[in-house]
Each structure stands twice: as C-alpha cells, then as structure tokens.
Amino acid sequence: MIKANSPMHTLITGGAGYIGSHTCLALLEAGHQVTVLDNLCNGSAQALQRVQQLAGKPLHFIHGDIRNPADLQRAFAQPPDAVIHFAALKAVGESCEKPLDYFDNNIGGTIALLQAMRAAAVNTLVFSSSATVYGEPDAVPVTEDAALRVTNPYGRTKLVMEQLIGDCCQADPAMSAVLLRYFNPVGAHPSGRIGEDPSGTPNNLMPYIAQVAVGRRPKLSVFGGDYPTVDGTGVRDYIHVMDLADAHVRALEHARTRTGALALNVGTGRGYSVLELVRAFEQASGRKVPHEVVARRPGDVAELWADPARAKQLLGWSASRGIEAMCADTWRWQRDNPDGYRG
C-alpha cells in the first residue's frame, strides 16, 4: 500500500464528464497526477482544457473507450497507482428504453476495466456508484445498510458494478475499493468555467432549470405532483459537485490505507423538493422558471436522502455548500456559458 498522503498517478475513466472534470481539478489541486480515459459520449475535451487552466497544471488525456482493449492498453501502459471509475451511461429514463445499451456499456465496461487493472497489478479503485441502488427505501435518511432493490435498469447496472467490484476484492486480498453512492450532484466550479453540460435534453433537474432560466427552453416539466411529500413533488438530496469532488480525493486517500470493498453515501443529509429547488434557483438567478406538473416518470421514487455519517467518520468528509451556493454556481456557469462548452 502507498503512504497515505504521497502524490498518486490516478487514471480517471469518464474524467471529461461533469463530475469527472471537477474531480480531475480537485486531484490536480491536491498534488496528484491525472490521466483521463474518455470516449466523450457524455464529456468534453474543452472541459479538460479548462481544468488544466484552472489548476495551472497539465493532465494526460486519452480519447478512448474502456470496452476497447487497445484503449485500455494505452491507459495502463504506465500503470497508475489507482483508478477512479466514472465512465458510464447515466440517464434513468433512457435506461428503461435501452437497457441492453446500459448493460453493455456500464457492466461490460467495468468488467473490461477490472481485467485491465488485474493485468497491470493496480489494486486501488474508487467507484462512482449511485443512490439508485436503494430503490424505494423503507425509511429516510438512508444508511449504507439499507436494502438494495433497484427500480430501473440504470440502478441495476450500478448495483451489479458494485457487486462485481466486491467479488474482485473478495478474490484478491490486496485489492481496495471505495464505492461512493452519490445522491443528486448539482452546481459548478465557482469560477463558472466548468459545469454540467448535457448533450440534447437534460436528464437531470438542475441543468434543465438553468436552461429554462437562461431562455434555452420554454418551461420545466415537473414529473409528478402527487407524491406523499411536502408539496407533492419528489424530494432529493442535492449535493454540490465541488463537495462531491472533494469526497473522491478523500476516498482515494482512504482506499490506499485499507483493503476490501467499502460503500459510502455521499450526500448532505437534507432533502429538498423539486419546487423548493425551483424557488431557490429563482432567488439565486433573479429569473423566473416557468414550470408545469406532468405525469410521474417511470422508475422514480418519492423521496430519497442520505445519512452521510459513515463518510464523515471514515473519510473526515462532509458537505459544506448549501442550496444557495448550488444554485448560484449553477447559474453563473449557465449565464457565462449559455451553450455549454459548444459556445
């Protein structure tokens, strides 16, 4: 095992995406060396350029796919000390329409990555999992010991990926993996230089709200107004992407001091409804967000928020940014980059 605070060379799959790019920046700022492997289906090379400008440090980018053996060979030519695995398709609704695409990309890609790690004797992994593994919880806040019962194919892929990694840790006593179960990442770097830039129609709430506020879309569709919640709309635990990026750095540093698989919730421990988020965004932006309530979306649950106590105990990490900063930073990114990285 590597000494806890020594610099590491980290391979980041999917590092040109939303959470990946912010994590690249956090790692560079923490003194680590970064290689990114990304096929750019959900990411942007421009994001990585801006990450390097913000950090004042370079990273190495490989344009490739984790399912392609030649691309993995390039990524592991100089074996990294650790891997952070983001690369995955990530839209709940789309996964219900195209489950095989999700199984192939997410599960198949993870198997290929684990095989490459084993061949290169790379034993440290931080995995980008999701609170969707909990499905409809019996109670909130949700602890890591809650039942795992997914309600959509996307969540199923994340659960299977967790199980595959866990099995590899069981089989190899030298392997260490931290499985980070994110709740709902939002926000952007406070510079407004990097942020969430979905291609096509956003699948996540916050970028959709931001695009309505900036005039790119006429109104927000709120999926479901009849949930048993404070105002009938779905309640989620929104976490600032900068807090989430910091959690990855902490998880990486923790993973190299231990072995085995460890699942951790990454959330704030506070839930907000869709309409509460809309109001907070209107306040932060000074713009109205026209919206209408429509039918529920398949696979969605009424309310979900985290008990993040275990991450605080083991990583010394807790979220520090509130809903005001989440909305203000999202608005700055959207206002300054109305067409995302394509602008």
Place of tokens 């709940």: 92
* Rounded distance between C-alpha atoms, residue 207 and residue 201, angstroms: 9
Mean pLDDT of the 71-99 span: 96
* Residue 228 belongs to some domain of the structure: no
Give pLDDT tens digits for 305-330.
999 999 999 999 999 999 999 999 99
Q: Please report the pLDDT score of residue 201 as a whole number.
A: 87
* Rounded distance between C-alpha atoms, residue 53 and residue 32, angstroms: 16
Give pLDDT tens digits for 235-244.
999 999 999 9
Residue type, 314: L
Contact of 129 with 162, CB cutoff 8 Å: yes
* Residue 231 belongs to some domain of the structure: no
The chain-wide mean pLDDT, for the chain, equals 95
Distance from the Cα of residue 183 to its chain's centroid: 8
Angle at alpha carbon of residue 202, lines to 199 and 208, rounded to 5°: 130
Confidence of residue 136 (pLDDT cuts 50, 70, 90): confident
Mean pLDDT of the 79-96 span: 95
Q: Clarify whether 134 is annotated catalytic.
A: no
Structure tokens at 36: 């990114």
Give pLDDT tens digits for 157-213.
999 999 999 999 999 999 999 999 999 999 999 999 999 999 888 988 999 999 999
Contact of 199 with 339, CB cutoff 8 Å: no
Task: Report the length, in residues, of the chain.
Answer: 343
- Domain count of the chain? 1
Structure tokens at 151: 């309600």
Q: What residues contact 311, with CB distance under 8 A and at least 6 apart?
A: 247, 264, 265, 266, 317, 318
pLDDT at 59 over 90: yes
* Residue 155 belongs to some domain of the structure: yes
Mean pLDDT of the 19-35 span: 98
* Rounded distance between C-alpha atoms, residue 242 and residue 101, angstroms: 30
Distance from the Cα of residue 265 to its chain's centroid: 12
Place of tokens 């976490």: 239
Q: For 8, how many CA atoms within 13 A lie in the half-sphere containing its CB?
A: 29
Where do the H-state alpha helices sit in 65-178? 69-75, 92-97, 99-102, 109-119, 153-171
* Residue 291 belongs to some domain of the structure: no
Contact of 255 with 177, CB cutoff 8 Å: yes
User: Under the phi-then-psi rule, with left for phi > 0, alpha for psi from -120 to 50, and beta for the rest, what region is 31?
Assistant: left
* Residue 279 belongs to some domain of the structure: no
Give pLDDT tens digits for 282-308.
999 999 999 999 999 877 889 999 999
Residue 4: Cβ within 10 Å count: 9
* Residue 333 belongs to some domain of the structure: no
Confidence of residue 2 (pLDDT cuts 50, 70, 90): very low
Question: Domain span at residue 36?
Answer: 9-187+238-269+306-320
Query: At 315, is the secondary structure helix, strand, or coil?
Result: helix
Dihedral, CA of residue 27, residue 19, residue 128 and residue 177, to nearest 10? 0
| Catalytic option among 18, 102, 134, 154 | 154
Q: Domain holding 164: CATH number?
A: 3.40.50.720
* Residue 77 belongs to some domain of the structure: yes
Q: Which pTM does this prediction carry?
A: 0.96
Q: Please report the pLDDT score of residue 298 as a whole number.
A: 78
Q: Are strands 82-85 and 9-13 parallel, antiparallel or unpaired?
A: parallel
